[in-house]
Structure formats: structure tokens, C-alpha cells
Structure 1
Amino acid sequence: MSLSSTSPARDAGLTCGTLEPGPRNTITDVAGVTVGHKTVIDGNLRTGFTAILPHQGNIFMEKLAAGSDVINGFGKSAGLIQVDELGTLETPILLTNTFGVAEGIHALIRRELSENPQIDRAKGTVNPVVMECNDGYLSDINAIALTEADANAALAAASEDFDQGSVGAGTGISCFGFKGGIGSSSRQFQLEGKIYTLGALVQANFGKAGDLVLPDGRRAAPNEEGAQPERGSVIIVLATDVPLDSRQLKRVARRAGAGLARLGAYYGNGSGDIGLAFSTAQRIPHLSKNSIVARDCLHEDKIDTLFQAAAETTQEAVLNAMIASPAMHGKNGSFRPSLAEWLGNVQD
């Protein structure tokens, strides 16, 4: 599904919060950020990769401040330990299925080695960031079918304009008993008279059927027999052009959980819920002649606006992922209905 100038949720009459979205209402409203997908639908496969490029330069040599927050840690992500220890992001971000993480790691390492042949034991290694959701309900995840070439295709496809819904890493996932997917949203606000942006991209694969609460207060439940336990996951990537340090970015990432809670999520025992936030405001050189490096940083008293934006964009991005995803049949007769169809039936 191609993006509108608003969002699938807003087109359906659902508005999250009070801050205004950016022109695309996606994470790419943050200048320099691009997103690409590789979608694999073949036989019993419903899977893929989604790539987020934080800027268009050499990210290993020009790192960005970053921080993550693990809301519930049932997951197999790579790279988050070093992100939180050093406070920087030095590769693109790949999203995929649980058994595709290794191929994503290989793709990012080889990508950075090709751009930075100086990487070795003496000059430092590279920290690939790959996060995942289990798409095994609709897709044959045990086939371990994704390849480095698939990851590279997602990276090569990165653009300011990208599709939402059942694409890339969102192809085979579920959300609140409906079809889930990749969704995005953004918010703009003023600080010191200048307009800044925060954008979110989610891989929405979480929530128990019947628990979804829409912004207008309605509860949305698919027609299915027997409620299944909460065993999904959600990955939330937040980007902003506000100058923040890694500690502040971790705090912003934590507020993505407020957006999930507004939708009715309670982060079940088997759910892997992770937020990762980065700032494009300043690039951090891999090598520096100076022992002391000056960096701007938002005053803590002004951070509430970013907390609000994180909650609103996360909530709307999840709804965009669901509404942009048509109903899907998967392996062994599995099926997920479309939230868009549910909304249409209710309105009719």
C-alpha cells in the first residue's frame, strides 16, 4: 500500500494525540532517514527484511547518538548491548524474522567492511543492529529462507517514500488477532522557534485478540474461536533531529511503551517489546584528534514534548501498520483478518 499524505489511520478517521504530523507522517520526515523493504511471498513463506538508514553518509565513520529500552525482553535482537554501553549507532538498522537475524548481521558487517576496509582488530570492529519478530504463525519460519541478498535488497531499496503494511519484515506478522505489519508516523513541534521532528517506525506483531482499543474508545476484535495468549513482539524505532544524548534517547525510547499501552497492550510474558531511538542532530566521528568533543544537548526540562511525540507516533504507527495490511492466508490454513475490513463493516 502506498502512503497517503496523512496516514491509513487518519484516512479511517482515527487520530492519535494532539501534535501535528510531518508532511509524510512517517519516520522519513526526519531529514536523511530512509527506509527500504524486501518482501518474500512464495509458497508457505510470508516474510522479509526492512532496512532503516539513519543518514546517507558513512555511518560507521560518522556515528549517531542512540539509546534503547527493553520493555519486555523475550527476543533475539543483535547489537543493543553496545548501543547502550557506548551510546552510538554505527550501522543501518535491519528488521526481520527471528531466524533471519544472522543473515542480517552478516549483511551489515560485510556492508561496513566494504565501505571501511580499515575495520580490524587494531581499528575496532563493527556493531550491527538487527531486531526481529516471530512471523511463524503465517509463514514457514523454520525454512530459514531469508538470505544476505534479501537483506542487501532492503538496504538498496531505501528511500524517503516507502510502503506500509504487509511488506518487508511486516509481511507475515499479526497484531491483536488482526494482520499486523510495518507502520510509521511522525510529529513536528517547535523548540526555540525552530521546527523539529520525531518519527517512529514499528514492526507490529503483538497484542491479544480482543484487547485492541482504538483512539475513539472502541474495542476491535476479530471473529475467531478462542483467545490466544499474548506471545507476539513489537520493535519500535524512533528517529529525531533534536540534539539528545544517549541517556535522553533511552528515556524517549521508553515512552514508546505508552503508545502501546494506549492500544491495550500489557507486554505479555512471551512478548519481545523493544524501543530504539537515535538522533540525527550531530554526527560523532569514529576518530577524533581532540580529546574533548563538544556536543549540543536538549535541556531536560524541555523533553516532555518528545515523550508525548514518542507515545503518539508509536500508537499511530501501529494502527497504520494494521490498517494498511489486507487480510492474509498463510501456511497450514492460517489466516489473519484485516482491521481495515473490520472498520468498514462496523461503519456499514
Structure 2
Amino acid sequence: MNRARSRELGIITGTLPTGRWNAITDVAGVLVGYSTLNRDTPSIAHTGVTAIWPRSAIYRDSVFAGVHSFNGYGEMTGTLWIDEQGLVSAPICITNTYSVGTVRDAVCEHAITHSKSAERSLEQPLVVHLPVVAETWDGFISDIDSMPVTKAMAFEALSSAASGPIAEGNVGGGTGMVCHEFKGGTGTASRVTPRGYTVGALVQTNYGARELLCVGGVPVGRELGVDVVPSPERAAADSGSIIVVLATDAPLLPIQCQRLAKRATVGLAKAGGIGANSSGDIYLAFSTANHLTLDQPAWTVETLAPFCMSQLFRAAAEAVEEAILNSLFAAETMTGFQGRTAHAIPLDQMLSVMRKHRWTPSI
């Protein structure tokens, strides 16, 4: 069976409708770009960079944001400043663990190059770039010690960012990742609330034990065990990480963005994630509704009433769950470092298991 997205298989998680592309790019102004590296020499590398622009003018027009660490065995730079100030003022990137510094330096260089003004008033604030770069570890499939990610790759991801449908599976930062002991990677989905606000999710999945995987409430991982589909060697089956980026056009303040980010945990739990001890489960949410230019001494902003937040929480949980499934369903089998193979989840066998559990497709 060809690789497919969750809804193409008739697997509908939750009840809220999706946006046009069922992607984080359904939030107007959000752009996503990738750089993907697959090579056999001089070292085996299956890795990359994912870049998310909250809006194209992000260096001049910031967005409110909040972060949450469900389990902190991982890295997301810039989070102290987000906790302090509540702003994201540069593109957000995701890569592998050892390349965070390289990609962060590239974002800083990109920001310096593209945000310079010819003249600066002494009253304008000093701009110091503290970009957000997150990671998961792809060392089972890629020779991570060879440090294959370059600044040029980060620049490629930043410059290729676009709206519309985006690639999933073995692309960008998710290229060499493993999820629930199947091939994982990059996934996305979106939801639209009854009030018309959109919540989009992009995930980089590299976590989870096989037996914990659930698809639409069906314990698929238990029946597609390692005797059915071999697992790549790993030190611990429940090790690994997931990075979640949530975007919304709902008008949220930083504390509301933080609350929204926390709800990514609900979607992760539905798919079978538990926040294991050696897993980095780190989430960021931002809102594009308010325009926040740093050269203005005061801002007039709009914010959503607290009683309206529950719809967004539900949207975030549904979008994250489906984005995780899309990352699995789109990913293709990959053999890499030291001959290890991460097998794609077999969609036909998975659907057979689901039908056995009295699941029927929603198509």
C-alpha cells in the first residue's frame, strides 16, 4: 500500500474540522521549509533542518509565544527569554541533537543579514537574537557524530519556506527519526474551532515503545510487535523525543500560548506517548493575531476570554494526535548507520488490525 495521510486511510481522530491543507500552514502567514540530507559517503547521514516562520516579517513583527516541557531530556534554545518576555522574533528551527548550535548560529546570521536597518534611532531597542532551535536525536539511523548538518542547510530550510501543503515523513529535521520503533519523522495537521480560529501543529517524532502505539484508539502497537515488523536497535525502546510547534490565529497572550502548548501532551498521550525518563517532549505555541513591532513604545493587543480557551485546547490535542500519525504514515523504510533499518509502519496490516477491533473507516 502506498504511503498516505491519516484521513486518506479513513482514520479520523477527533471531531473538529481541519483547515484547507490540514497543516500548520493553515494558519495564515505561517511558512514551512526543509533541508534534507541523505548520503552514504563520507559518512552515512540521514538528517536535516525544518524551518517554521510564524510570519514572513518575523524579524520586524514578533508574535506572542509560550513553551512547555513535558519531559526535559532535550533542547529548545531561547526558552528562557520566551518565559521572560513571551515573544518569538525569529524563525523556529528543528534539527538533530548535535546540530542545534550550528542551526542557531545560522538563524542569528540570517537575522543579522535580513533585519538590518540603514539607520537606527538611539531610542530604538537594541536587538539581540535569541532564536528557537529544537532537536531530537537521529543517531540510530544517521552518523550523528559526523556533524553533517551545515549552516548552508539551515539557510536552505529558511529560504525554501512556503505556505500550502507541506511534505511529511522523511524530510527536514525528521529525516532520520524513529517513532514507536517504526520509521517516524515530520508530521502536521490542523483544526478549526467553532468560533473560526485555526490551530495548526507540526511535530518531529522520535519517541515511544512499540507496544504503546495507538491509532484511533486501537492498540496497534501490541499486534504489530517486533515479531511482525522488526525494530531498529535502540538502547531503550521508550527513549527518544518529540518536538511540537503549535500555531494559531486566535488572539492569545503569552500565558495563554503556554497553556495551549501544554495541551500537546493530550494528543501525544492518545497516540501512546508517556513522556519517558529519557525522552525530550518539548512544545512551543505561538499566536499570529497581534502585530508586535519592537520599535513601538506601546502596543494595543487583543486577547481571547479565558472561557473560550477550551475549544483551542481541544483543537491542539486533536491536531497533535493526527500530526503524529501523519508522521508515521508518510515515513518510508530507511536503512542507515551501521546497517540499522527503521521500517515504515505497514499500512495494510495496520488497517487489518484496526478492522479486527471493529474499527470502520470514515470515508
Indicate if the aligned counterparts of 2:181 and 2:237 stay in contact, CA closer than 8 A: no
- Secondary structure of 1:310's match? helix
Q: Given the two structures, how large is their TM-score scaled by the length of structure 2?
A: 0.88
Matches of 2:292 and 2:108, distance apart in 1? 20
Report the alpha carbon displacement of residue 344 of structure 1 after superposing the two structures with TM: 5.8
The alpha-carbon distance between structure 1 residues 21 and 170, as it changes in their structure 2 partners (threshold 3 A), is same
Indicate if the aligned counterparts of 2:194 and 2:311 stay in contact, CA closer than 8 A: no
Indicate if the aligned counterparts of 1:51 and 1:95 stay in contact, CA closer than 8 A: yes
Q: Report the equivalent of 1:264.
A: 272
Matches of 1:136 and 1:35, distance apart in 2? 24
Q: Deviations over 1:199-252 (max 9, x none)?
A: 000001111122101114232234237994311100000000000000000000
Q: Report the equivalent of 1:8.
A: 5
Q: Report the equivalent of 2:50.
A: 50
Q: Report the equivalent of 2:25.
A: 28
The alpha-carbon distance between structure 1 residues 289 and 211, as it changes in their structure 2 partners (threshold 3 A), is closer
Q: Report the equivalent of 1:207.
A: 208
Matches of 1:330 and 1:19, distance apart in 2? 39
Indicate if the aligned counterparts of 1:73 and 1:274 stay in contact, CA closer than 8 A: yes
Matches of 1:298 and 1:213, distance apart in 2? 33
Q: Report the equivalent of 2:106.
A: 107
Q: Report the equivalent of 1:138.
A: 141
- Secondary structure of 2:111's match? helix
- Secondary structure of 2:300's match? coil
- Secondary structure of 2:204's match? strand
Q: Report the equivalent of 2:307.
A: 301
2:158 to 155, 158, 174: 155
Matches of 2:336 and 2:217, distance apart in 1? 31
- Secondary structure of 2:82's match? helix
Runs of 4+ in 1 over 3 A off after TM superposition: 118-122, 224-229, 344-348
- Secondary structure of 1:131's match? strand
* Amino acid corresponding to residue 160 of structure 2 in structure 1: A
Matches of 1:296 and 1:172, distance apart in 2? 41
Alignment map for 1:111-190 (pairs within 5 Å): 111-117=110-116, 123-160=126-163, 161-190=165-194
Q: Deviations over 1:163-195 (max 9, x none)?
A: 11110111000000100010000001232xxx2
The alpha-carbon distance between structure 1 residues 200 and 122, as it changes in their structure 2 partners (threshold 3 A), is closer
Matches of 1:285 and 1:234, distance apart in 2? 31
* Amino acid corresponding to residue 210 of structure 2 in structure 1: A
1:338 to 338, 341, 344: 344
Alignment map for 1:171-320 (pairs within 5 Å): 171-191=175-195, 195-220=196-221, 221-223=224-226, 224=230, 228-290=236-298, 293-320=299-326
Indicate if the aligned counterparts of 2:77 and 2:131 stay in contact, CA closer than 8 A: yes
Q: Given the two structures, how large is their TM-score scaled by the length of structure 1?
A: 0.92
Matches of 2:335 and 2:192, distance apart in 1? 38
Indicate if the aligned counterparts of 2:201 and 2:320 stay in contact, CA closer than 8 A: yes
Matches of 1:60 and 1:23, distance apart in 2? 27
Indicate if the aligned counterparts of 1:67 and 1:276 stay in contact, CA closer than 8 A: yes
Indicate if the aligned counterparts of 2:328 and 2:344 stay in contact, CA closer than 8 A: yes
Q: Report the equivalent of 2:361.
A: none
Indicate if the aligned counterparts of 2:212 and 2:219 stay in contact, CA closer than 8 A: no
Matches of 1:108 and 1:150, distance apart in 2? 11
The alpha-carbon distance between structure 1 residues 222 and 338, as it changes in their structure 2 partners (threshold 3 A), is farther
Report the alpha carbon displacement of residue 124 of structure 1 after superposing the two structures with TM: 3.0
Matches of 2:125 and 2:67, distance apart in 1? 28
Report the alpha carbon displacement of residue 335 of structure 1 after superposing the two structures with TM: 0.9
Q: Report the equivalent of 1:81.
A: 80
Identity of aligned residues (%): 37
The alpha-carbon distance between structure 1 residues 52 and 122, as it changes in their structure 2 partners (threshold 3 A), is closer
Matches of 1:319 and 1:345, distance apart in 2? 17
* Amino acid corresponding to residue 135 of structure 1 in structure 2: D
